[in-house]
Structure 1
Amino acid sequence: MQQETRKIQITQDTRVSSVFALPDGYPSSRDTAVILAHGAGNGMDHPFISHFHRAFAEAGLLSVKFNFPYMESGRKAPDRMPLLETTWRAVIRAVREDSEWAPRHLYLAGKSMGGRVASHVVSQGEACSGLIFLGYPLHPARQADRRRVAHWSGLSCPVLFVQGTRDALCDLNILESELPKIQSGAALHIIEGGDHSFKTPKSSGKSAEDIWTDVNSAIVSWVKKITDGES
C-alpha cells in the first residue's frame, strides 16, 4: 500500500490536508474509491478514521481521508454547513479529476457529522455509487423529535448505516421508521451494545479493533455488492 499526502484547495484562501492510500494492484477491474470524512470532534488522524482509511486500502479500495478547514486550522467549533459542503465537493472533485487514480466507482463515507454533510451534498445532486454512515447523527441527544432526515428523499444512491444499539444520537426504532424515505435503498448494520463511537461494554469481550474489523468487513462486502451491480 502506497500513501501520498496532498493539499486540496477548498476556497481561494483555504486548503486542507488529505491522505490518498493506494492499494497494491490499483487500478484493478473495479477501480473503486472511498472518501472518508471525520466527525465533529476529531480530525482525520484519529485512530478510528485511520483504521478504516487503512483497512479500505488493504481491501483493494483507493482510500482518501481529509480534514475539514476548522480542524486543519486547529479550531474546535465546526465550520458552517456551506463550507463543510464546499469542502466535500472539492475533495470529490480532486479524486475524480486525478489523472492517474480516478475511480469508476466512488463511495462517500463519514463518521457522524462527516457522513451527514456527505448526505446533504448528494441530496443536492452530487453523484456517487453509495453513502456509508459510520454512526449517523439522526437527532441530538435526548431530542429524538429533531430528526435530520428532511433531505433523505433527495438521495439517489444506496446507503449503508452502521449504528450501535446504545447510540444516544440515533434511536434505532426511529431510524428504521424513517428509512423508507430513502427510495434508492438503505441497509443497516447493527453493532450490539455499541454507542455513537461503536464502543461496547467491557462485558462484550470485544476490543475497539475487533469491532472496527467486523464493521470494515461488512462495509467492504456491501461495497462489492453495489459495485458489482453497477459493472
Structure 2
Amino acid sequence: MSSAQPVRIPIDAEQSVSGLLLAPADARAAYVFAHGAGAGMAHAVMEAVAQGLAARGIATLRYQFPYMERASRRPDTPRVAHAAVRAAVAAAGRVWPELPLFAGGKSFGARMTSQAQADTPLPGVRGLAFLGFPLHPAGQPSDERAAHLAQVQVPMLFLQGTRDELATLELLRPVVERLGTRATLRPFADADHSFHVPARSGRKDAEVLGELLDAMAGWIVGLA
C-alpha cells in the first residue's frame, strides 16, 4: 500500500482545504474526488478507492469540503461546495498537467461535482465518475436532483448498488437513458449506498469494490 501525500488546496485568499495525493509511477489519468456528507476523505471507502485506482494506473486527489475541515455536521451550501470542487480540479491540473483529468466523488461529493460541471465546465475534465449518485433522500423517491445533469456535456459513469436507498434504480435508469450516449450506468447486485453486500448474497464487500474499481478504471482509461 502506497502512502498518500498531504496537500493544501487554496479556495480563495482566505480559505483552503486538505487534500491527499496518490500517484503510481505509471499513471495514465487522474481522478479528483470528494467525500460523502457524513465522512471525510480519510474514510475507509475513500482510502480503498484511492489505493485501488493507484494499483490500476490512476492517480487520485481526494479532498475535504470546508464544513468537514471545521468538523461541522452541516454540509456546505452548493456555492461553497462548488468552489471547493473547482479548486481541487485546478490543483490537480497544476500537479499533473500531463494527465487527463476526471472528477466526481462519493454521494454528496458526486452531486456537488456534477452541479459544478453543469454550471460551468471544469477546466480539463474529460468525464465524471459517481460513486453512488444520491438521486433522492432515503424513502423519498424522486428524480428532481437529476435535472442539472442535462447540462453536463462530458461523459458520466454512474456506479450504483441495486439496494441503494438514495437512488432507486427504477428512477435512475430512465435518467441515464435520457442522457443518451454521455451516460453509463454500472449496477452492482445487492450492494447498498456504501457498496456493502449482505452475507446472504454470497459475495463480500471487497469483491464488489474490486469489480467497481475495474469498471471505473476501464472507463477512465478508455476516455483518457
Same fold (TM over 0.5): yes
Q: Distance in 1 between matches of 2:180 and 2:121?
A: 16
Q: Which amino acid aligns with 1:117?
A: M
Query: Is residue 2:131 matched to residue 1:131?
Result: no
Residue of structure 2 in register with 1:122 after alignment? 117
Task: Please state how far the C-alpha of 1:56 moved relative to its aligned partner.
Answer: 1.2
Residue by residue over 1:151-189, the C-alpha shift from the partner in whole angstroms, topping out at 9 and shown as x without a partner, is 111111111101111111111111111124425511111
Q: Distance in 2 between matches of 1:183 and 1:195?
A: 25
% identical aligned pairs: 32
Distance in 2 (CA, whole Å) between partners of 1:187 and 1:146 is 17
Q: Is the Cα contact below 8 Å between 1:157 and 1:184 reproduced in 2?
A: no
How high is the TM-score relative to the length of structure 2?
0.93
Structure 1: gaps spanning 5 or more residues: none
After alignment, is 177-186 or 201-210 more displaced?
A: 177-186
Moved over 3 A (4+): none
Determine whether 1:220 maps to 2:217: yes
Partner Cα distance (1:147, 1:164) in 2: 20
Higher mean C-alpha displacement, 54-63 vs 79-88 = 54-63
- The reply to whether residue 190 of structure 1 matches residue 191 of structure 2 is no
1:35 pairs with 2:32? yes
Partner residue of 1:102 out of 79, 97, 119: 97
| Partner SS for 1:85 | helix
Structure 2 residue runs of 5 or longer lacking an equivalent are: none
Partner SS for 2:11: strand
Q: Is 1:15 the counterpart of 2:12 in the alignment?
A: no
Do the aligned partners of residues 154 and 195 (structure 1) sit closer, same or farther apart at CA in structure 2, a change above 3 Å counting?
same
Q: TM-score, normalised by structure 1?
A: 0.90
Work out whether 1:113 is the aligned partner of 2:114.
no
In structure 2, what is the equivalent of residue 179 of structure 1?
A: 176
Q: Which has the higher helix share?
A: 2
Q: Secondary structure at the match of 1:156?
A: coil
1:182 alignment partner, SS class = helix
- Equivalence for 1:148: 145
Q: Find out whether 1:85 has 2:86 as its counterpart.
A: no
2:147 is paired with a residue whose SS is: coil
Cα contact 2:176–2:185 (8 A) shared by 1? no
| CA–CA distance in structure 1, aligned partners of residues 44 and 77 of structure 2 | 25
Root-mean-square deviation (CA, aligned residues, Å) is 1.5
